[in-house]
Amino acid sequence: MSADTSSLAAALPDGMVITDPDILAGYRQDRALDPTAGTPLALVRPTSTEDVQTTVRWCHENRVPIITRGAGTSLSGGSTAVDGAIMLSTEKMREIAVDPATRTAVVQPGLFNSEVKAAAAAEGLWYPPDPSSFEICSIGGNVATNAGGLCCVKYGVTTDYVLGLQVVLADGRAVRVGGKQLKDSAGLPLTKLFVGSEGLLGIITEVTLRLLPPQGPASTVVGIFDSVHDASRAVLAVTGEIRPAMLEFMDSVAINAVEDMLRMGLDRDAGALLVAQSDAPGAAGAQEVELIRNAFETNGAGEVFATDDPTEGEAFTAARRAAIPAVEKLGSLLLEDVGVPLPSLPDLIDGVAKIAADNQVMISVIAHAGDGNTHPLIVFDPTDAAEAGRAQTAFGQIMDLAIELGGTITGEHGVGRLKKGWLPDQVGPDVMELTALIKNALDPEGLLNPGVIL
Amino acid sequence: MSADTSSLAAALPDGMVITDPDILAGYRQDRALDPTAGTPLALVRPTSTEDVQTTVRWCHENRVPIITRGAGTSLSGGSTAVDGAIMLSTEKMREIAVDPATRTAVVQPGLFNSEVKAAAAAEGLWYPPDPSSFEICSIGGNVATNAGGLCCVKYGVTTDYVLGLQVVLADGRAVRVGGKQLKDSAGLPLTKLFVGSEGLLGIITEVTLRLLPPQGPASTVVGIFDSVHDASRAVLAVTGEIRPAMLEFMDSVAINAVEDMLRMGLDRDAGALLVAQSDAPGAAGAQEVELIRNAFETNGAGEVFATDDPTEGEAFTAARRAAIPAVEKLGSLLLEDVGVPLPSLPDLIDGVAKIAADNQVMISVIAHAGDGNTHPLIVFDPTDAAEAGRAQTAFGQIMDLAIELGGTITGEHGVGRLKKGWLPDQVGPDVMELTALIKNALDPEGLLNPGVIL
């Protein structure tokens, strides 16, 4: 089936519907680069909720599926085209209004996370969630996946900051749920249902975010370890006592890849590196820094470096954020996002090493270690079909391992298309049926983001 | 219709099904004392998820509605019996396992909030949410209503602490959603959907709670104001700058009622009283105390009292918690729970005073002022039908006012039976339809907590 999009183009402002094949080609895939991506019928770039409603109504009438895309940075294929679908990109929905009096921001979904942070900061406020991709990922995508980041270990994930939403439903109606009030128990918790729903239940066209007073200056502690085991014991020693503002992990492959890229003098012989931060004020912060330093030293850190200088600290945070692009220079990546309850972190890291050896592929592990959320990066040569196959096998085995350890196949990226085969193993058939019941209730024709999760 | 419960009694352990009318009478109503409460067919007091499943399967087969009750402290009629229903009380489901390694607690729903706090504290940990009724309300009820409390202004509400649930669905199946992992984006956010669903979607039989390291010692600042207006401006002056650990409000009626009950020397001539706390450590805490003191003084506080002594501070927190029982001594109460975005707080308080005058009823306002959540307490003589009628009118007008100010009819108590008439005015017909779609998908026969929300 291939509907004629001219009636849609006529119903929307000039130029909003694009059918140029060259442009469409750039919107087929997201950063997961799913080779099974289809080709959309058209690209629509709305600027308002009304435009989205017009588009969804047209799709509803013509039984055309609709894929919502923010900035296209999904690592699990959450915004991958299917043949004959409308690709709805929110990239031109970029308004924001920060309200210092209620300490909230009302944001359109296409704004980058970094732009939300900047707009909040301009009013002396802070939007905490900070995916590593914060400079290139959209706030709408963050909400759709319940994105996390580095600060989550102390400050929580996206859902903790979403007070209200405007959502266009599968039949084109727009609803508002929640609002600027900080507490709201009126009716079913629909706001929370949409956060993390990966585009399956509706299209988010406006987000009301809770903001915080600005974060205090953070002190940074870096520990260099001979072994990943020592480092993961050090993580538990920290989180058993305090909530650090950040606690990140890189293994030797990541350290060397980052050093290749940034030349900042990281120890190439290290087995693992931890970067922790405390933003507790004054003497409490100094106490936390001491506690972290001790936890690192008594768990085998060969070298510990602490600084109160935000610029020095930011260099190490930037190094951690650079790990994915740096390792990506070694080959194509299959990027994992598995999480486990914290005490299982060493078992997960050991298990991943075994999976790498068994499959003869390189796997570099980086992690938001403080909350047990890891990103094993499987490196492979896409021109080597055998190696690519072994990488795929490892990808699945890592999810199997996380499930076995009582964890999750995705801590912050979402299930998308790449992980849906493993979701039933994690949650079981009854939860899958519950998921389908809710999906069918809200989108009986299955037009919203087909192929994702279910 | 009146099913014979003997087959249910036979399927459950001896004595678990109770049909003694004298005992049933005590389970008809909750603290909302809804006069339209029905009489249940039987009371079931399960001890395990399996008992709950057996009960729900029997109800499903016999088309018998089922009302879930925690400790029966609902103020909105969320656990009120209907004729011919099974009343399922979770009061005997009282197990808890605190796991310091993952900093979580796995809890059965019947435990009191205070018992969860105590079990966490025994392991050096902290469960923050603190409804005023924390010594007599159940954790299952807290989850079902997404309960709040005094610490929410800084530490959030119940949903922020729920990592996982076990839920018995309307057909008797038990599902697990979420778990001990701190971040989880796998599939639809079903855990969040059940928190605050007021028993409409399933029966919560186990909760996995996130715990925090213990709260630091708090300093307390009390401000005495001539007028509620000055006090509400002082609230905004505080929240515009910092997140206090507590910021509570009492008007003159509440002050005098508490003084009558506790004889602690509160100023009977005061127009309003604010109790704020800071738990920021060391110098940062001292700074916050100074900021609060200044905010109070520059906004008309006649007297400001600050203390670092936890016992002195707790006396004022206890006074605030005592406000509801104290005002209750003046007559029967209709207890409101409306919330507004913070800058509208003065308008809400003014409007409530006008509603009291218009309807010639006494309304005392207490509030979790720091998050805009207020509890206007409408005092009336239940033997005076005219006054009781005027109280009901005022009850509705306060909700109308909150909606007009962009707020919510319930910040933390839930809609229950008492507030469902106003829910459509707040959320609109499309959200009501969405609510019904989800309810029907999960409970097509409408057996779970009928009469609540919808």
Average pLDDT of span B296-308? 97
CB B281 within 8 A of CB A281: yes
Shortest Cα–Cα distance, A425 to chain B (Å): 11
User: Which residue in B has a C-alpha nearest to residue A216's C-alpha?
Assistant: B284
Q: For an interface test with A, which of B152, B188, B420 has the most A Cβ atoms less than 10 Å from its Cβ?
A: B188
Query: What pLDDT score does B2 carry?
Result: 58
> What angle (nearest 5°) sits at the alpha carbon of residue A90, between those of residues A87 and A96?
175
Question: Which chain B residues contact residue A176 at CB under 8 A?
Answer: 427-428, 431
How far off is chain B from A238, nearest CA to CA, in Å? 11
- What does the pLDDT look like over B143-163, one tens digit per residue? 999 999 999 999 999 999 999
Structure confidence at residue B1 (pLDDT):
45
Read off the DSSP letter of residue A43: E
ipTM: 0.96
Q: What is the pLDDT of residues B115-133, one digit of tens each?
A: 999 999 999 999 999 999 9
- Chain B positions touching A146 (Cβ under 8 A) are 185, 189
Q: Which residues of A touch B200 (CB under 8 A)?
A: 188
How far apart are alpha carbons B106 and B309 in whole angstroms?
Answer: 33
Residue B234 has a CB neighbour count (10 Å cut-off) of 28
Show the tokens assigned to A246: 């950040």
Instruction: Please check whether residue B320 is in contact with residue B248, taking contact to mean a CB–CB distance below 8 angstroms.
Output: yes
Chain B residues within 8 A of A104 when measuring between CB atoms: 341
| CA distance linking residue A78 with residue A416, whole number of Å | 4
Please tell me the distance from the alpha carbon of residue B199 to that of residue B79, in angstroms, as a whole number.
Answer: 9
Mutation for testing the A interface, residue in B182, B401, B408, B420 having most A CBs under 10 Å: B182
Interface contacts A/B by beta carbons within 8 Å: 275
Q: Chain B: nearest CA to A142, how far in angstroms? A: 11
Q: Which of A179, A415, A437 sits opposite B441 (nearest CB)?
A: A437
What is the mean predicted confidence (pLDDT) over B336-344?
94
> Which of A104, A156, A431 minimises the CB distance to B187?
A431
The contacts of residue A433 (CB under 8 Å, 6+ apart) are: none
Q: State which amino acid sits at residue A100.
A: P
Query: How many angstroms away from the CA of B38 is the closest CA of chain A?
Result: 23
Contact, B66 vs B85, CB < 8 A?
Answer: yes
CA distances to A271, A320, A402, B92, B394 from A252, rounded to whole Å, are 5, 12, 22, 52, 67
H/E element holding B192? helix B190-194
Buried b / exposed e along B239-250 (16+ C-beta atoms within 10 A): beebbbbbbbbb
Decide if pLDDT at B205 tops 50: yes
Q: Which positions in chain B touch A192 (Cβ < 8 Å)? A: 159, 189, 192-193, 195-196
Beta bridge partners of A97: A106
Nearest-CA distance A438 → chain B (Å): 6
Q: What is the mean pLDDT of residues B267-272?
A: 96
**C-beta of residue A43 within 8 angstroms of C-beta of residue A24:** yes
Q: Which residues of A touch B407 (CB under 8 A)?
A: 179, 181
- CA torsion through residues A401, A406, A412, A418, sign: positive
Query: Which chain A residue has the Cα nearest residue B163?
Result: A341
Q: What is the pLDDT of residue A385?
A: 96
CA distance linking residue A159 with residue A190, whole number of Å? 12
Residues of chain A with pLDDT under 70: 1-2
Torsion region of B358: left, alpha or beta (phi above 0 gives left; psi -120 to 50 gives alpha): alpha
Q: How far is CA A266 from CA A258, A269, A349, in A?
A: 8, 9, 22
Secondary structure of A143-212 in HEC code, one letter for each residue: HHHCCCCCCHHHHCCHHHHEEEEEEECCCCCEEEEECCCCCCCCCCCHHHHHCCCCCCCCEEEEEEEECE
Closest by CA position to B156, among listed B164, B147, B144, B169: B147
A183·B239 Cβ contact <8 A: no
Q: Which residues of A touch B181 (CB under 8 A)?
A: 339-341, 372-373, 406-408, 411
pLDDT tens digit sequence for B221-241: 999 999 999 999 999 999 989
Sign of CA dihedral B387, B388, B393, B399: positive
Residue B263 confidence class, pLDDT cut points 50, 70, 90: very high
The verdict on a CB contact (< 8 Å) between B188 and A169 is no
CB A235 within 8 A of CB A304: no
CA distance A400 to A129: 28
- What's the CA gap between A209 and A302, in Å, rounded? 42
Question: What are the tens digits of pLDDT across the range B408-434?
Answer: 999 999 999 999 999 999 999 999 999
CB nearest A282 (choices: B177, B282, B423): B282
CB < 8 Å to B337, chain A: 185
Q: Look up residue B376 and give its two tokens.
A: 């206007």
Kindly calculate the radius of gyration of chain A based on its CA atoms and give it in whole angstroms: 22
* Residues in chain B closer than 8 A to A212 (CB atoms): 243
Tell me the longest C-alpha to C-alpha distance in chain B: 69
Question: What domains can you pick out in chain A, each with its CATH number?
Answer: 6-89 (3.30.43.10), 96-210 (3.30.465.10), 219-404 (3.40.462.10)
**HSE of B210 in the Cβ direction (CA atoms, 13 Å)?**
23
Compute the half-sphere exposure of residue B221: CA atoms within 13 Å on the CB side of its CA.
29
Report pLDDT digits (tens) over B2-40: 579 999 999 999 999 999 999 999 999 999 999 999 999
Residues in chain B: 454
Chain A interface mutation, best of B185, B336, B338, highest count of A Cβ atoms under 10 Å:
B185
Quick one: which of B224, B309, B301 has its CA closest to B259?
Answer: B224
Q: Do B437 and A442 touch (CB under 8 A)?
A: yes
Measured at the CA of B107, the angle between CA B102 and CA B109, to 5 degrees, comes to 155
